Structures are given as C-alpha cells and as structure tokens.
Copies of this chain bind each other. A is one copy, B any other.
C-alpha cells in the first residue's frame, strides 16, 4: 500500500496527463489541494516535490505552481524540452553547451525573434544525449532580453525549460515549427558521431512566451535513426509527436555469446 503522498503524486500526474491541468496552467494552491485530498499541507508538499523533481511542475516561492510539461501531451513546449521527453520515456537525457556567442542578429534571426536587425542576440550550440547516445544538435538563438538569464545557466543543465521558469517565471508556449531532412555536414557529423552525408531530421522552431513574445528560435538536428516525429491529423489533439526511433528502442544489440 503506497504512502498517501505517493498516491497524491500519482493522482496529480494523472490529472496532468488527462489535461485537467494543461501546460502553462496554474495548479491549485497547496491549501486547496490539502482540503481536496483531506490531508495536511506537508503531505501535499511532499507529493508535489516529486513532480517538481520530474520536471512536470514549476515552483517558485510566493507564486502559484505551474504545469511545465505533461508526460502525454505533445505541446510545442514539450517538444522544446528534450529532457522532459526523455524522462517520460524513462531514459537519461544529457546535454552540454559546446559554444556560446553573443553577436548582432542577422536579418533572418531578427525577423524570427521580432527584433530590430543588428540587435545583439545569443547563439548557443548544444549537443544532447540520450542514454549515452548523442542524438541531437541544437543551435539556438535567444532574444536579447532573455540572453542574460540563459548565460547564467550552467552548461550541463539538464532542463533549460525548468531553469528558465525558476529564474524568470517563464513558461514556454506555442510557436511555429518546420520539419525536414538534411544530410550531416562536417560539423554535425563530428558532433553526433555519424558519417558525413547521414540523414538528419531537422526541426526549426520558434518558442514564445505565453503572451506570444518570441524567446528563442532553434535549429535542431536529430539523428534520424534515434528520433522521429509522428504527425496525426486529428481534431482537438496536437498532431505533432516526437518518438524514439529504431536506433534507440533497443540501443545495443544483444550479443550472440
């Protein structure tokens, strides 16, 4: 028989899965949850702490708690958080910043971020791993106003999404995205450990605040055997979903002897 705080934690996960609380929504205050479940604040806090560690909930003193991710829904914010997606699959995500550079935005970057051409923006190159496999190269351009907060984040931070919420109260929201395939150039092949010319899945996307202000735009390149995106045309649900590819389902072939 699970402890009460474990039951409540599971109930909250289910509620997020079932979209009783969507990404970006505020959770009820602790006192209200305590009354609802008939327990003390301390028990609620222990339950919620588990979801916070899992990246599902963002928590800041004085502010209502917010849903940062769902295990099931594939909102765009969920796509942004590679770490949360990996966790939901029971995989270990990792990542490291290879390079950062602040320089004036090109016309294209400025347009995407709704900035004036020439405004300084932050370019960040990251490589993300999954269970010991490099699967993703991210080239992200951050708007000038968010750049200082991003620079404060440690290079191996597991979830930039969570960190930006904790530091800035920032919750990501819907943005545009484009998916296509490219072949690995010299740099990408080095970073991902694949042969040059290998196919990569490219996702170009813009992430905004919930009010629509662009935060970042990114060019993500996935090893095509590691991750694929499924698109289901169905009413009411987000048709875009990322899923593990054949290269990762069973990462290592079983030996013969």
In the assembled complex, the Cα of A251 lies from the Cα of B94 at a distance in Å of 12
Query: Count the A residues whose beta carbon is within 8 Å of the partner chain — how many?
Result: 32
**A32 CB to nearest B CB, Å:** 23
Interface residues of A in 119-155 (CB under 8 A from B): 125, 127-135, 154
**A219 CB to nearest B CB, Å:** 14
Across the two chains, which residue of chain B brings its CB closest to A91?
B156
Residues of B within 8 A of A95 (CB): 92, 131-132
Instruction: Verify B156–A90 contact, CB threshold 8 A.
Output: yes
**A55 CB to nearest B CB, Å:** 14
User: 1/0 per position for A226-257, CB-CB distance to B under 8 A?
Assistant: 00000000000000000000000001111100
Instruction: Verify A96–B156 contact, CB threshold 8 A.
Output: no
Instruction: Verify B96–A187 contact, CB threshold 8 A.
Output: no
In the assembled complex, the Cα of A257 lies from the Cα of B255 at a distance in Å of 42
User: 1/0 per position for A80-124, CB-CB distance to B under 8 A?
Assistant: 000000000011111110110000000000000000000000000
**A79: Cβ under 8 A from any B Cβ:** no
Instruction: Verify B127–A96 contact, CB threshold 8 A.
Output: no
**A191: Cβ under 8 A from any B Cβ:** yes
